[in-house]
Amino acid sequence: MSSDESEMREAVRELATALETMLNLVKADALPVTPEAHSLMRKVMVFLDESTDQITDPDRSGEILPLATALNRLVLSAREQILDDAVAASPLPDHPDM
């Protein structure tokens, strides 16, 4: 397998992971509730929108892996913020005295 082919496979994996994470957040109805989570999701959407032409341009295949990796990092950061927000908003467990 050539270096270009390996890089392209890795880029596709990164993109797939990012998009799967976004889809899972939507399916779980895990909408961001804090300004930090909203900001991260807006960054993800803007980044995806701005990089779509580069990702789909066959003449720029060398740029796909860094874009896919950056998108995946943004999505994972947004997911972590959403999960942190959900945990912070959850009531503390009621433990009986021991």
Predicted local confidence at residue 30, as pLDDT = 64
Q: Is 31 helix (H, G, I), strand (E, B) or coil?
A: coil
Are the C-beta atoms of 22 and 44 separated by less than 8 Å?
yes
10 Å Cβ neighbour count for 85?
16
> pTM higher than 0.75, yes or no?
no
Domain ranges of the chain: 31-86
Q: For the CA atoms of 23, 58, 62, 72, what is the dihedral angle to 10 degrees?
A: -10
Which residue has better confidence, 93 or 10?
10
Give residue 67's region: left, alpha or beta (phi > 0; psi -120 to 50).
alpha
Average pLDDT value for residue range 19-28: 78
Q: Express each pLDDT in 24-77 by its tens digit.
A: 777 777 666 678 877 888 888 898 888 888 877 777 767 788 888 888 888 888
